[in-house]
Structure 1
Amino acid sequence: MHAPNEQIAERVTPLIRRVIAPNPGAFTYKGTCSYVVGAGKVAIIDPGPDNPRHVGALLRAIEGEKLVCILVTHTHRDHSPAARALKKATGAKIMGCARYAPRTDIRVAEPGLDASHDMAHAPDVVMREGDRVELGSATIEALETPGHTQNHLCFALLEEKALFTGDHIMGWSTTVVAPPDGSMIDYMASIERLRRRHDEIYWPGHGDPVRDPSRYLRALAHHRRTREAAILQRLEAGDDTIAAMVARIYENVDRRLHGAAALNVLAHLEDLVARELVASDRPLSLTGRYSLK
């Protein structure tokens, strides 16, 4: 019998168990989804925040098994900090994404979500495209997917044609892309990479699984193109600031999310300026003025 409010590992496939962290919110939905992958020898993907309840739930989920590694998709603080507590408890290696590092090709004079990174993240092994973890019952392969963050990885579970998508693809909302670390140029390129794959299901860092990835990716790409068109329309109508554009484009969206919406608009503008469709009166920022070229 489980204690009240005790987190339970839910078996969602023969090789995957999911534990949802108790960190619900406007940007995390019901909480960060952590995944236990394999049987006997296991990996944990996206251990989540360093919350004792959550760490305890993950440790209970793997009782009697060997934790081979802790895999992290990216270093936002709702995904990576618990890796250190799990390593201390089990001795497992922290693997996956690299440490956060500021972009060197900086074009945006704005902090974005960079302060949201887990600056103490210290991976034992940085994984690159095609690197694999062999668990006996399961094979996990890394896929580089920059965009939401520059260090973002997805992880493919080859035996189930499944992809753990972190925050690159979410099951409840579109992904925030916030310059300077986030890049709409890189994000859209990563979406196109996924469209060339043949994964049958996505397990995101937040929200429910995506069971028709091909259709979902088409919808995401269409959404981003529609948002870009809306920005160009607002510029043509004379809205030359991000604040003015957000007020019109996101007028039916919860105002608590307008800050994130502004960063998404900035990401689109960075792309549009790079493509020489839009001009800016200063280095790209939330307070700049923009015009059509």
Structure 2
Amino acid sequence: MDALYAKLETLEPGIARLLAHNPSAFTYYGTQSYLVGETEVAVIDPGPDLPEHIEALVHAIAGRRLVAIMCTHTHRDHSPAAQPLANLTGAPIIGCAPLALEAVGPRADAAFDGDYTPDRVLADGDSVEIGGRSVRAVATPGHTSNHLCFAYGDALFTGDHVMGWSTTVVVPPDGEMAAYMASLDKLRQRQDRVYYPAHGPAVTNPQQYVRGLLGHRMQREKQILRLVGEQPRDIPDIVANAYPGLDPRLVTAAGGSVLAHLLDLERRGLVVREEQQWSKAA
């Protein structure tokens, strides 16, 4: 995959991709920044503040007018390159609202970008004109409360809400399982042709894929209910039983997702907790 870093790939007319060199257990081969448009362009998810990636983005724009630098959310693998790119091009930063939370304990995924300062925040349904075509915001809270997807024609840029290689990390306090599930259902009802996520391959069967993600989360919920119904359990015990053979690098993230499920189940009156122990409600 090294040969693909900093190399512009045309995916279809008006949509191209640049891969940032920030591979990890949470980013797959790295963050995919997208260039949308032809004579005028927008950059979606400019990515981490890596000089070689920012240089590649400037080169890819190649004298065209950069209308907008658009961020799906403010994790540090998505938005930090926005300001340096804005400084170099004069383009406005448009997209998600600013959000930066300090982690309690070890982070389960990327930290927040505390320096992100948008020129314009998009609400659900707001749009930006790129060469006579609209890039429209689709609010999809869940992974983070400020997460947006961006629709361009019948293509949807899904950030971390739907990824082509892995399920999404949903970690409280900002990540919320009920919001995430509602956002998935919102996408299920759309008629997008293809998803372009920030990590992993394109999703060419969007409705079927989203139904699978919803089903997976519902099965995980049933599994958690069964485990806490057998006996009171803490989160590490649930993770050990629900994720056998899990990559140790992902244990913290799995614990975060289990907590997100438990908080949703608690809100619905299906589980109770006493200190660190969770049980099925009577």
Q: Number of paired residues?
A: 278
User: Which residue pairs with 1:131 in the alignment?
Assistant: 126
1:110, 1:179 within 8 Å by CA — same for their partners in 2? Answer: no
CA distance in 2 between partners of 1:59 and 1:9 (Å): 11
* C-alpha deviation, 1:248, in angstroms: 1.1
* C-alpha deviation, 1:148, in angstroms: 0.1
User: Which residue pairs with 2:201 in the alignment?
Assistant: 208
Which whole-Å deviations, capped at 9, do the CAs of 1:182-215 have from their partners, x for residues lacking one? Answer: 0001000101111111001000010000000010
Which whole-Å deviations, capped at 9, do the CAs of 1:75-108 have from their partners, x for residues lacking one? Answer: 00000000011000000000100010669xxxxx
1:153 aligns to 2:152 (yes or no) = no
* C-alpha deviation, 1:238, in angstroms: 1.4
User: Which residue pairs with 2:174 in the alignment?
Assistant: 181
2:108, 2:253 within 8 Å by CA — same for their partners in 1? Answer: no
Instruction: Report the secondary structure of 2:124's partner residue.
Output: coil
Which whole-Å deviations, capped at 9, do the CAs of 1:6-25 have from their partners, x for residues lacking one? Answer: 62110001010100100001
1:249 aligns to 2:242 (yes or no) = yes
* C-alpha deviation, 1:26, in angstroms: 0.4
CA distance in 2 between partners of 1:156 and 1:5 (Å): 25
User: Which residue pairs with 1:267 in the alignment?
Assistant: 260
User: Which residue pairs with 1:219 in the alignment?
Assistant: 212
Which whole-Å deviations, capped at 9, do the CAs of 1:16-48 have from their partners, x for residues lacking one? Answer: 010010000100000001000001110000000
Instruction: Report the secondary structure of 1:116's partner residue.
Output: coil
1:145, 1:168 within 8 Å by CA — same for their partners in 2? Answer: yes
User: Which residue pairs with 1:289 in the alignment?
Assistant: 277
User: Which residue pairs with 2:158 in the alignment?
Assistant: 165
CA separation of 1:262 and 1:30: change in aligned 2, threshold 3 A: same
Q: Which runs of 5+ in 1 are unaligned?
A: 104-108, 283-287
Which whole-Å deviations, capped at 9, do the CAs of 1:250-284 have from their partners, x for residues lacking one? Answer: 112212211100000000001000000001124xx
What pairs up with 1:72-111 in 2 under 5 angstroms? Answer: 72-100=71-99
User: Structure 2 length as normaliser, TM-score?
Assistant: 0.95
Choose from 195, 205, 220 the match for 2:188. Answer: 195
2:100, 2:114 within 8 Å by CA — same for their partners in 1? Answer: no
CA distance in 1 between partners of 2:226 and 2:19 (Å): 40
2:100, 2:112 within 8 Å by CA — same for their partners in 1? Answer: no
User: Which residue pairs with 2:17 in the alignment?
Assistant: 18
Amino acid at match of 2:142: G
CA separation of 1:254 and 1:113: change in aligned 2, threshold 3 A: closer
Amino acid at match of 1:244: D
User: Structure 1 length as normaliser, TM-score?
Assistant: 0.91
1:73, 1:154 within 8 Å by CA — same for their partners in 2? Answer: yes
CA separation of 1:82 and 1:205: change in aligned 2, threshold 3 A: same
What pairs up with 1:37-76 in 2 under 5 angstroms? Answer: 37-76=36-75
CA distance in 2 between partners of 1:275 and 1:257 (Å): 27
Amino acid at match of 2:144: T
Amino acid at match of 2:137: A
CA distance in 2 between partners of 1:115 and 1:9 (Å): 25
1:112, 1:180 within 8 Å by CA — same for their partners in 2? Answer: no
* C-alpha deviation, 1:110, in angstroms: 7.3
1:121 aligns to 2:120 (yes or no) = no
- Give the CA RMSD over aligned residues: 1.8
2:4, 2:19 within 8 Å by CA — same for their partners in 1? Answer: no
User: Which residue pairs with 1:35 in the alignment?
Assistant: 34
2:163, 2:199 within 8 Å by CA — same for their partners in 1? Answer: yes
* C-alpha deviation, 1:112, in angstroms: 6.0
Which whole-Å deviations, capped at 9, do the CAs of 1:107-150 have from their partners, x for residues lacking one? Answer: xx878659811011000000001111111253200011000000
Instruction: Report the secondary structure of 2:37's partner residue.
Output: strand
Amino acid at match of 1:152: H
CA distance in 2 between partners of 1:254 and 1:114 (Å): 14
Q: Which runs of 5+ in 2 are unaligned?
A: none
CA separation of 1:72 and 1:227: change in aligned 2, threshold 3 A: same
CA distance in 2 between partners of 1:129 and 1:191 (Å): 15
CA separation of 1:90 and 1:111: change in aligned 2, threshold 3 A: same
